[in-house]
Amino acid sequence: MSVRTAARAVTAFLALLAFGIALPAAAPALTFKVDNQSGRAANSVFVTVAGSAAGYDVPGMANDVPVPLSSIPAQTVTINKLVSGRIYISYGAGVGVSVPFNSPTRFDWAELTVTPSSSDVANLTAVDQFGIGMRLQTFNSGGSQLGEVGSANSDTVFDAMQDIPGGPAATLKDSGGNILRVLSPNQTQAYPELDQYVKSMSGKKVSLDTAFYGTPFTTSSYSGTFQSDGSIVLTGSSNPPGVAPSSISIAGSQLIGDIYSGGNTPNNLSGAIYRDLLAGFSTGLWGGKYGNSALSFCTDPITNSQGSWCPQGFNKPAFGDARSSLSSFPTCEQYAAVINKYSDSYGNPYSDASKKVTVGLDQPGTGGNVSTLQLTILPDQGSAQPVESGNSNCGAASSPPKTTVKFSFYKKAVLKGNSAKAGKLKCSKACGTIKVIAKKGKQKVAQSKYKATGKTPYLKMKANSKGKKLLRKKHHFKIKVSVWVHPAGSSQVSKSHSMKFKK
Check which CATH number belongs to the domain holding 372 and give it: 2.60.110.10
Residue 460 counted as domain residue: yes
183-to-104, 150, 353 alpha-carbon distances in Å: 14, 19, 22
Residues 145 and 267 in one domain: no
Does 147 lie in the same domain as 59?
yes
CB 218 within 8 A of CB 239: yes
The answer to the question of residue 278 being in a domain is yes
* 339, part of any domain: no
SS (H, E, C) 61-129: CCCCCCEEHHHCHHHEEEECEEEEEEEEEEECCCCCCCCCCCCCCEEEEEEEEECCCCCCEEEEECCCE
> E-strand spans in 319-431?
358-360, 372-377, 405-409, 412-414, 419-427
| Beta carbons within 8 Å of 24's beta carbon, 6+ residues apart | none
Q: Compute the distance between CA of residue 403 and CA of residue 395 in angstroms, rounded to an integer.
A: 23
Residue 346 lies inside a defined structural domain of this protein? no
Considering the domain architecture, whether residues 199 and 145 belong to the same structural domain is answered as no
Alpha carbon distances (Å) from 452 to 319, 485, 496:
40, 10, 19
Residue 259: left (phi > 0), alpha (psi -120 to 50), or beta? alpha
Asked, for residue 287, whether it belongs to a domain, the answer is: yes
By residue range, what is the domain housing residue 313?
Answer: 195-332
Verify that 157 and 205 share a domain, yes or no.
Answer: no
- Residue 317 and residue 270 share a domain: yes
Per-residue pLDDT of the chain (503 residues; tens, 9 = 90+): 333 333 333 333 333 334 344 434 445 689 999 999 999 999 999 999 999 999 999 999 999 999 999 999 999 999 999 999 999 999 999 999 999 999 999 999 999 999 999 999 999 999 999 999 999 999 999 999 999 999 999 999 999 999 999 999 999 999 999 999 999 999 999 999 999 999 999 999 999 999 999 999 999 999 999 999 999 999 999 999 999 999 999 999 999 999 998 889 999 999 999 999 999 999 999 999 999 999 999 999 999 999 999 998 999 999 999 999 999 999 999 999 999 999 999 998 878 767 889 999 999 988 899 999 999 999 999 999 999 999 999 998 876 678 899 999 999 999 999 999 999 999 999 999 999 999 999 999 999 999 999 999 999 999 999 999 999 998 899 999 999 999 987 889 999 999 999 98
59 and 181 share one domain: yes
- What SS3 class is residue 452? strand
Q: Is residue 15 part of a domain?
A: no
- Looking at the chain, the number of H-run helices and the number of E-run strands are 8, 29
- Does residue 309 sit in the same domain as residue 205? yes
What is the CA 311 to chain-centroid distance, rounded?
A: 23
Q: Does residue 304 form part of some domain? A: yes
Residues 167 and 32 in one domain: yes
Distance CA 230, CA 202 (A): 7
Residue 10: predicted pLDDT = 34
Query: Are residue 55 and residue 171 in the same domain, yes or no?
Result: yes
- pLDDT the model gives residue 234: 98
The answer to the question of residue 249 being in a domain is yes
- What CA–CA distance (Å, rounded) separates 474 from 189? 71
| CATH number of the domain enclosing 451 | 2.60.40
Task: Return the H-helix or E-strand segment holding 225.
Answer: strand 218-225
pTM over 0.85: no
First to last CA, the chain: 124
Q: Are residues 219 and 146 in the same domain?
A: no
* Residue 373: CA count within 13 A, CB half-sphere: 28
Same domain, 171 and 145: yes
- Same domain for 47 and 170? yes
Fill in the amino acid letter for 373: L
- Cβ-based neighbours of 210, under 8 Å, separated by 6 or more: 219, 220, 222, 269, 272, 273, 276, 294, 309
CA–CA separation, 133 vs 155, rounded Å?
A: 9
Q: How many domains does the chain have?
A: 3
